[in-house]
Structure 1
């Protein structure tokens, strides 16, 4: 994948951040204390819903339950802390908004205040970077620490979404969060659920708004039974074509490497 791209210094920044966090997490996991009460969280005001056009993605660690059983809770905690923390930070790097972490997965939005093509660029660039950092660095880090590697799947879609902070006010714990009500979110979740290991699936709206370079990494995968989409070019409903995304940055960066 060549456009857009991550510079060598950007890649090095991500890798150095990953290893710093991994060292910190390793220390924390070694010294887990017993909790006695629910942490007090800052009170947050409930907001009114707003409509956006967004790229939405679900990312999930494959076979997480089996991973915990095979590796034990401490190693699984280290794994999920290292990978999910970086996956969440990368959302911010690509101007996205992280909604929730389910333990072994996350939901994020891209494209606030952007046109559709910009939103799709941010989404696909995010997925490319997650794949790169997982394959080139995270799994190698796990191997160094004698921890089993992981695989992920993802589902992504583009479309209108209504976002609102829902829940209740409570001064001792946060009982509210930003939630999306959206067909695009439902479709992204559905695509993630049918994706195989190491598969990143998107809907036709993502393909439609992708540029020529990014389309070269989106290959027809299957059709989603019971779903259709309205092609903006023809304004006609068509079968919902699923695309498999294969874009990934190339090149490894050593975590202790210095700029020349």
Structure 2
């Protein structure tokens, strides 16, 4: 996987699966039924955890509570929209080597571990995944959502890097869930309060893990984060990451890279969801 750009081959496959997903959801019969039983989840081992260095990503849909969801019909349409959106967001996380911890209904949380050896950092892969999420949302998902008469989905993201313990807590025969223990997870969650629609906020540790060419798109959040280094009391900065994918790009072959030949101009793949 090339994390320095949005590969056109990947985007073409992405468009195909999004169209299949749209078709599957559209063909379903009523997806909300009258009932009085809450769906349960399987029991998981409790009280175990894993300590690791990783990037923690939070994604949050903006103005979610303002969407109408009073009637059964409205709630069913909401379910279809969320299924359409989050199925692709989760797939992107997985394609970029991340693991989804939880889906909160209007957001999700995911981890991206560092690749072994001299591989890509979790921070770079998490940010690359986030950029792909924004591109897919704008160009592939929202055009479909808008044609149903619903407002397009706008979201924000918070991203931090560091040491966390991922653990399962709760009762074996009661409520339990996966939680992230550690400052990076706390900061990534708090960063959402500093982001507006379609913004990415990242912490300094995450920014320092990015390649120099990516760091130029980090702009300091003017109002302080409210967090400080314990060692010296200096403020811990947050950044708005303003870089975005400009569009899918073909990947260079190894022969072209070795020969130093320029890439020929290749038109982008046709859009599935044209206006």
In the superposition, the TM-score normalised over structure 2's length comes to 0.80
Query: Relative to structure 2, which stretch is displaced further, 128-137 or 116-125?
Result: 116-125
Q: Segments of 4+ in structure 1 off by > 6 A?
A: none
**Structure 1 residues 43 and 203 mapped into 2: Cα distance closer, same or farther (>3 Å)?**
same
| CA deviation profile, 1:79-119 (whole Å, cap 9, x unmatched) | 21111121111111111110111100111111155579611
Q: Does 1:128 align with 2:131?
A: yes
Q: Does 1:48 align with 2:48?
A: yes
Q: CA deviation at 1:182?
A: 1.1
Pairs within 5 Å for 1:231-242: 238-242=234-238
- Structure 1 residue runs of 5 or longer lacking an equivalent are none
Aligned to 1:243: 239
Q: CA separation in 2, counterparts of 1:40 and 1:78?
A: 20
Cα RMSD (Å): 2.8
Q: What's 1:25 paired with?
A: 25
Normalised to the residue count of structure 1, the TM-score between the two structures is 0.84
| 1:133-177 deviation per Cα after TM superposition (whole angstroms, max 9, x unaligned) | 01111111112323221210111111111111112223xxx7323
User: Secondary structure of 2:93's partner?
Assistant: helix
* 1:150-165 equivalences in 2 (<5 Å): 150-165=153-168
Could you say what secondary structure the match of 1:226 adopts?
coil
Q: CA 1:60–1:166 in structure 2 vs 1: closer, same or farther (change >3 Å)? A: same
Q: Higher strand fraction: Structure 1 or Structure 2? A: 1
Deviation, 1:229, is 4.0
Cα distance, 1:221 vs structure 2:
2.0
2:134 is the alignment partner of 1:138? no
Report what 1:96 is aligned to.
98
Instruction: Tell me the number of residue pairs that the alignment of Structure 1 and Structure 2 aligns.
Output: 249
Q: Distance in 1 between matches of 2:210 and 2:14?
A: 25
Cα distance in 2 for residues equivalent to 1:183 and 1:76: 33
